[in-house]
Amino acid sequence: MNIAELQAYGYFALVVFLVIALYSYIYHLYSTDKKVGGHDYEKFSNMALHDDLGDAPVSPISDDKEK
Amino acid sequence: MENRPLEYDYTVAKMFMFTTVALGIVGMLIGVILAFQLAFPELNLVLGEGLAEYTNYSRLRPLHTDAVIFGFTLSGIWATWYYVGQRVLKVSMAESKFLMFIGKLHFALYLVGVVAVVASLFLGITTSKEYAEFEWPIDIAIVVVWVLFGVSIFGLIGIRREKSLYISVWYYIASFLGIAMLYLFNNMEIPTMLGANAAGESGFGNWWHSVSMYAGTNDALVEWWYGHNAVAFGFTVPIVAMIYYFLPKESGQAIYSYKLSLLSFWGLMFVYLWAGGHHLLYSTVPDWMQTMGSVFSVILILPSWGSAINMLLTMKGEWQQVAASPLIKFMVLGSTFYMFSTLEGPIQAIKSVNAIAHFTDWIVGHVHDGTLGWVGFMIMAALYHMAPRVFKREIYSKSLMVTQFWIQTLGVVLYFTSMWIAGITQGMMWRAHDEFGNLAYSFIDTVTVLHPYYTIRGVGGLLYLVGFLMFAYNIYKTMSARPVEESELQNASPMGA
Ligand code: HEM
Ligand code: HEM
C-alpha cells in the first residue's frame, strides 16, 4: 500500500468517525432531553432572557453545595 | 456605609467600547484610503514625495488589516465579553477586586500594545507575515494580554452563580483557546541578534528583528493554518457568541433550538481546523492536504448554516420586529451575510473555482461581505444594545440608526458586487490565451478594465465609513440622552426619535 492509499483510507475512517460522533451526539442531546431528571436543554435559553442579578439562575450553583 | 444593592459593573466593558469605536474609525478610514489608492494611484503621494514612505499603499495595508482585526474586532469581542460574561453567569465584577484589577490591567496593556503596533507598522517594522506582522517584543506583550483575558474568563466562571454555561460562554472560551494555540505556533520566531554564522559572527540586524522558525512550504502551511483559523476564532466564533446573546435578548425570543446551537458548536470546532488548506490550492503543499482543505470547506457550510438558521428562526412569528427595530435589522442582516459568506467561501474553495478566484479581487469581495456585513454589523448591534444599559440612557436617535443601516447596506452591496465583477474579469483575463497558448492580455490590460470597479468599491467603502461615523456619533450622544428606568431595559432597547 502506498502513501496515497493510506491517506485515502485514513481520510475515509475519519469521515466515518465524525459522522458517528455527530449522530451519537444528536442522539445524546435528544435522549437526555426527554429523560426525567435529565436536562431540559431548551430551558437554557433563559440564561440570556432572565439575566438580571436578581433573577433566579436556571440551575443555581448552590444546588451542588447542598448535596 | 450605605448599603447599595449589588449591580453589574461595566467599567471595563465601557473602556473596550471606546476602543471599538475609535479603532473602527481609524481602520476603516485607512481602508477607504487604500481603496481609493488602488483606483487612483496618485494618492500614494498625497502628502508629497517626502512622506510617500508613510502614505503608500504597502505601508498602510497592514495598518488597515491589523486595526480592523486586532483593534476594532478584538475590542468588540472584549467589550461584549465584559458585558455578557457577567450577565449570563449572574455574577458582578464588583464582587471581585481581583477580577476588576485584571480587567483594567487587560485594557491598559492592550492600549500599550495598540500604540506599539501602530508605531512599528508605520515605521515599516514588520515580520511580513499577513495578520502576524508584529515583531517578537510585541508578540510577547500580546501573549500577556491574552493570558489576562483568559484569567478574566475563567475567574468569572469560577465565582459564578449560574451552574450551566450559556452557549455564548462556550464560544468565548473557544475563541480564547483557539487563538492562543494558533498565535503561539504561528509566531514562533528567533530574534536575529541571537543568530550566528559559520564564521562565528553574531548579533545581526536590529534588536527587534526576527525570522520565523519555519521555512518554505512549512511556513506557508503554518501561516494559513493560522490565517484561516484567525477567521474562524476571530471573525466567526466570538461573533456567533454575540448573536446568541444579543438577538434573543433584544427580541425577547428564546433561541429557536438550544440543542442545535450545541450541535453546531461542535460541528464548527471539528471542521474549521481542517479547512485552512483552501488558501494554498495549487501551491507546493501536498495534494492531499489541498483536497482535504476543499472537502472540509464544503462540509463547513453545515455547522455555519446551523447557527445562522437557528438565529433567523429565533425570529419566527416575530418578523414585525425586524421592520420595527433597526437594532434587530442589523442582526438579521448580519446573520444573512454570514450565510452568504459561508456559502461563497466553500464555492471558492472548490479547486476549479479557486483556479479563477485565487489572487483576484473576488477574494477581497468575499473578505468584506463577511467582515462588513457580518462582523461589523454584529459588533455595532451589540454596542447599540449595550449602550442604554451601561449608560442607563436611551439610544440617542432611532432615525439616525435607520439611516445608517441603509447607507451601510448599500455600501456593502457596492463593495462586494464590484469586487465580484472585478475578480472574475481579472481571473478570466489572466488565463485567456490564443490557439497557440500565448496569453491574450498583459497585466496592464486588466488594470485598465478594472478601474471603474475599483472606484465603485471606494465609494461603497466610503458609504460604510460614513455610516460608522453616524454610529459613533449616536453612541456618543447616547451618553447624555434621556435617562431611563431599569424596567425599560428588559428586552427591546429604548430609543429616542
Ligand atoms: C464556510 C466558511 C468559509 C469558507 C469555506 C471560506 C473559504 C475561503 C476561501 C476558499 C478563501 C480564498 C483563499 C484564496 O484563494 O486565497 C477565503 C479567503 C478569506 N476568507 Fe473565507 N471562507 C469562509 C468564511 C469566511 C468568513 C465568515 C469570513 C469573515 C468574516 C472569511 C474571511 C476570509 C478572509 C479574511 C480571507 C482572505 C485571506 C487572505 O488571503 O488574506 N471567510 N475564504
Ligand atoms: C470602510 C470599510 C472598508 C474598506 C473601504 C476596506 C478596504 C480594503 C482594501 C482596499 C483592502 C486591500 C485589498 C487588496 O489588497 O486588494 C482591504 C483588505 C482587507 N480588509 Fe478591508 N476595508 C474596510 C473594512 C474592513 C473591515 C471592517 C474589516 C474587518 C473587520 C476588514 C478586513 C480586511 C482584511 C482581512 C483584508 C485583507 C484581505 C486579503 O488579504 O485578502 N476591512 N480592505
B138 with B117: CB under 8 angstroms? yes
B268 with B233: CB under 8 angstroms? no
Give the confidence band of A66 by pLDDT, cuts at 50, 70, 90: very low
Residue showing cell 445608517: B404
Ligand 1 within 6 A of B283 CB? no
**Number of H-type helices and E-type strands within chain A:** 3, 0
User: Rounded to whole angstroms, how far apart are CA atoms B88 and B150?
Assistant: 17
Q: What is the pTM of this model?
A: 0.94
Closest-CA distance, B93 to chain A, in angstroms, reads 12
Q: What is the pLDDT along chain B (497 residues), one digit of tens a residue?
A: 456 778 999 999 999 999 999 999 999 999 999 999 999 999 999 898 889 999 999 999 999 999 999 999 999 999 999 999 999 999 999 999 999 999 999 999 999 999 999 999 999 999 999 999 999 999 999 999 999 999 999 999 999 999 999 999 999 999 999 999 999 999 999 998 888 888 888 878 889 999 999 999 999 999 999 999 988 999 999 999 999 999 999 999 999 999 999 999 999 998 898 899 999 999 999 888 899 899 999 999 999 999 999 999 999 999 999 999 999 999 999 999 999 999 999 999 999 999 999 999 999 999 999 999 999 999 999 999 999 999 999 999 999 999 999 999 999 999 999 999 999 999 999 999 999 999 999 999 999 999 999 999 999 999 999 999 999 999 999 999 999 988 888 889 999 87
- Centre of ligand 2 from the C-alpha of residue B411, in Å: 13
B313 with B257: CB under 8 angstroms? yes
Give pLDDT, residue B1.
Answer: 47
> Within 10 A of A32 (CB to CB), how many other CB atoms are there?
14
Question: Which of B258, B263, B266 is facing A44, going by the closest CB pair?
Answer: B258
ipTM over 0.85: no
Q: Which residues pair with B439 in a beta bridge?
A: B433
Give pLDDT, residue B2.
Answer: 54
**Distance of alpha carbon B375 from its chain centroid, rounded?**
6
Give me B424's grid cell: 472574475
Closest-CA distance, B282 to chain A, in angstroms, reads 18
> Which is nearest to B327 in space by CA: B388, B286, B391?
B388
Q: What is the number of alpha carbons within 13 Å of residue B240 lying toward its C-beta?
A: 31
Summarize pLDDT for A20-62 with one digit per residue, the tens: 998 999 999 888 877 766 778 888 898 999 998 888 888 887 6
Best probe of the B interface among A41, A42, A43, A66, by most B CBs < 10 A, is: A41
How many residue pairs from chains A and B have C-beta atoms closer than 8 A?
Answer: 79
B263 near A CB under 8 A: yes
Question: Which of B163, B245, B263 is facing A57, going by the closest CB pair?
Answer: B163
> Which is nearest to B88 in space by CA: B4, B172, B147, B16?
B172
Going from N- to C-terminal start, the domains of chain B cover: 7-164
- Backbone region of residue B434 per phi and psi (left: phi > 0; alpha: psi in -120 to 50; beta: other values): beta
User: Rounded to whole angstroms, how far apart are CA atoms B432 and B144?
Assistant: 51
